[in-house]
Structure 1
């Protein structure tokens, strides 16, 4: 159903791909936008239990697009080092594909918000719980259930890892 990566030597393992998602703080959500144009929007997120969670206002372009077509992709760039003298970039990134849904159940929504808030304010539990209480009604939370994940890194990084393992 999903295309296999052409450059198989550059594939990240599942564990490495999950590490990229866990380390990242922002990614780009791509949805099917108006008039068949793709729409990609950067946003903060959290990866948890094979899902991506993000929050939003209750109205807007991305939510309209998700309502029309819940199939989305999400990309996180972990490393992007330009090496001018080699005419290349040492990169590491992950893209996921899955289905997005708005969390309507209050228990699910609160749980996702707590996970998201803990990711960005790990040392401020009381403050983040108060913020969730204050903004619970007007905020929307979206869950992206991952169906396929693909990570890739520059061949130079692959070679460097192989050299360290020898």
Structure 2
């Protein structure tokens, strides 16, 4: 169902790909928007248990698009170093494909909210719980359940990895 990556030497392992998702703080969500036009929007997220969670307002373009078609993709760029003298970029990125849904169940929504808040404010538990309570009814939490995940990096990074490991 999902295409195989053409440049197999540059494929990140599942562990490397999930590490990128865990470490990242922002990504780009892509949905089918109004009149079939793609709509891609940057947002903060958390990766947890083969799912991506993000919050948003309770109305808007992305929610309308998800209601119309729950199939989405989400991309995170881990590295993007321009190397002018080599006419290239040393990059590492991950893209996921899956289905998004708004969390309606209060327990599920609160759990996702707490996971998301803990990522961005790990040492302020009381404050983040107060903020969740304050924002709870004004925010929407969305779960993207990942069906396919792939990561890729520049061939120069692959070569450097192999040199470093003696391969």
Normalising by structure 2, what TM-score?
Answer: 0.99
Deviation at 1:32, TM superposition (A): 0.2
Matched, 1:126 2:126: yes
Matched, 1:58 2:75: no
Q: What is the alpha-carbon root mean square deviation over aligned residues? A: 0.3
| Alignment deviations for residues 139-164 of structure 1 (CA, whole Å, 9 cap, x no partner) | 10000000000000000000000001
Deviation at 1:36, TM superposition (A): 1.1
- In the other structure, the counterpart of 1:25 is 25
Distance 1:32 1:95 in 2: 16
Distance 1:62 1:51 in 2: 18
Structure 1: runs of 5 or more not aligned: none
Structure 2: runs of 5 or more not aligned: none
**1:24-103 equivalences in 2 (<5 Å):** 24-103=24-103
Segments ≥4 residues shifted beyond 6 Å: none
Distance 1:24 1:113 in 2: 17
- In the other structure, the counterpart of 2:150 is 150
